[in-house]
Structure 1
Amino acid sequence: MTDRSTATVERLILQPPEKIWRALTQPHLVAEWLMAGDIQPVVGHRFQLTGTWGGVLDCEMLAVEPPRSLSYRWDFPHDDPAYALKSIVTFTLTPTAAGTLLRVEQTGFRPEQKQAYGGAHAGWKAFLEKLETLTAGLD
């Protein structure tokens, strides 16, 4: 088995899990904090996420447990194998007295992908900050 690393980020968001779930699963909301794409919370649904940087991720929904967890394949194809990434992103929502503890795990980084791992760790922190701002404005 190949050794792979997992980038994990947690953030306490002062909103109920149902509101965060909407922002994780509705395409127009996902586009505001993550990337544009036809995400649907249906196991087996294939979709692409397009970053503002021009990159395209090939995705497939793997697990859906509203409003507790969501998991999908997150693959970045690239001509150079050093940059190609096959990973899985899992969002876990845990209700708290103050709101929701959101945990994001992206697993699948190969040992030689230290830069991609570091970028993902920093990127998820920034994405979750945007998600928090977005959900604060939702009804």
Structure 2
Amino acid sequence: MNAPFNETRTVTIEREFPYPPEKLWRALTQPHLISEWLMNTDFKPELGHRFFLKGDWGGVTCQVLEIEQQRSLSYTWNHEHADPAFALESVVTFTLTQTGQGTHLRMEQVGFRPEQKQAFGGAQHGWKLHFDNLEKVLERLD
């Protein structure tokens, strides 16, 4: 049985990028760019679109829940596993806020159950690396 929503943990990563929201939005919503900083995907920026993110460790099934052009993007992030303790049902939300220096990007992944310490720690570490990769993609993007 799943823990009540209020008993779940959240991974939050925030970073300021010296680029306009339009540039970050492209990196968050264009499949070939997502593949460069996150994972291979068949993502489409369409409400309700179901897609897959695939890494060397496996992958996650996703569905677009919310999309507000150059402001926010939210989708499910579900990792199925034979052992229910390792199965993860979560939601990832990106929020873009234009600043005087560029764009503040906030990523929240909500839904880690208290017993999912390894998944929670892995997500904290992994998202920081993904943001480093995102920065590299943005640096060379026109």
Same fold (TM over 0.5): yes
* 4+ aligned runs moved over 2 Å, structure 1: none
Aligned pair partner of 1:113 in 95, 113, 116: 116
Matches within 5 A, 1:1-139: 1-2=4-5, 3-53=7-57, 55-139=58-142
1:18-62 deviation per Cα after TM superposition (whole angstroms, max 9, x unaligned): 000000000000000000011111110001110122x12010000
Q: What TM-score do you get using the length of structure 2 for normalisation?
A: 0.95
Residue identity (%): 57
Deviation at 1:99, TM superposition (A): 0.8
State the distance in 2 between where 1:28 and 1:101 align: 23
State the distance in 2 between where 1:57 and 1:84 align: 10
Deviation at 1:116, TM superposition (A): 0.7
State the distance in 1 between where 2:56 and 2:67 align: 26
Higher helix share: 2
Aligned CA-pair RMSD:
0.8
Q: What TM-score do you get using the length of structure 1 for normalisation?
A: 0.97
Amino acid in the other structure paired with 2:83: D
Helix, strand or coil at the partner of 2:45: coil
Amino acid in the other structure paired with 1:5: R
Helix, strand or coil at the partner of 2:86: coil
